[in-house]
Structure 1
Amino acid sequence: MTAAAALPRPLGAYARWRRTGDLVFIAGVSARLPSGEIDGVLREGDGVRHDVAAQTRRVLQTIDALVQEAGGAGLADCVDMQAFLVRAEDFATFNAAYGAFFPGEAPTRTTVVVRALPHPDMVVEIKAVACVPVASSQ
């Protein structure tokens, strides 16, 4: 199975990523798995708990794979990210999980709190821009 086959397919009419020159634009990525399930969802009786750190890790791993698919080295090529959280109180947990992926120089980032994401079990979404020189992707 290729890395691309191991990634979830878009549920709508949009590309997972799009290249223009040296820039690769990654569409918003959630913690959705190829099976359709959402990573980081813990069902406890009648309740549901969302593991923000697990969702953040899954999102960044998927972005890494998408940048690789687009011809780059991966997450280190990202220059800008926009993060969307459903709950403001998750920011510290999100920030710690996110920071583990960028021990050195991190991309610029904007984080906003939104009312909801497309599925009630999604609590983190990130879109990214990577800089991958065309010559290095060939």
Structure 2
Amino acid sequence: MLEISGFGTVLLFFIGGISFLLVTLLIGRILRPNDPTPEKQTTYESGEEPAGSAWGQFNVRFYIVALIFLLFEAELIFLFPWASVFGDENLVAQTDGLWSKFSMIEVFIFIGILLVGLAYVWAKGMLEWVRPKPKAPDYKSRIPSSAYSRYR
């Protein structure tokens, strides 16, 4: 009997996955109709005719808000398993309520970490859509500005 090492098993799974992908793409290519028309080849823009170039400037704040949303949304997913374990009456009864106290402390720590992250983002002004203009400091230095000219 042929014995396969751990790397051989990984290689077989890799080859199997790639071959499955290629076979399904080939079957889809064979079965689907191919009837390109000028209307089908146009860019879809919410049902409207595209206006201008797609390479326009895009505000970076959209990305920041989306990243913050994804961060908090992904961390919120961790609360669902906690709620299902916390709601298990058998587990709570077996530990004489110690498990429920531990779970509550754990979730308050977790939510506290989320709130610290939210406070940080809020303090940095990343949740404000229109940022205030930065103000120049009004500090008057005793060193004359001509002293800095030789360091430039």
Q: Which band: TM-score by shorter chain?
A: under 0.3
| TM-score normalised per structure 2 | 0.23
| TM-score normalised per structure 1 | 0.24
Give the number of the structure whose residues are more often strand, by fraction.
1
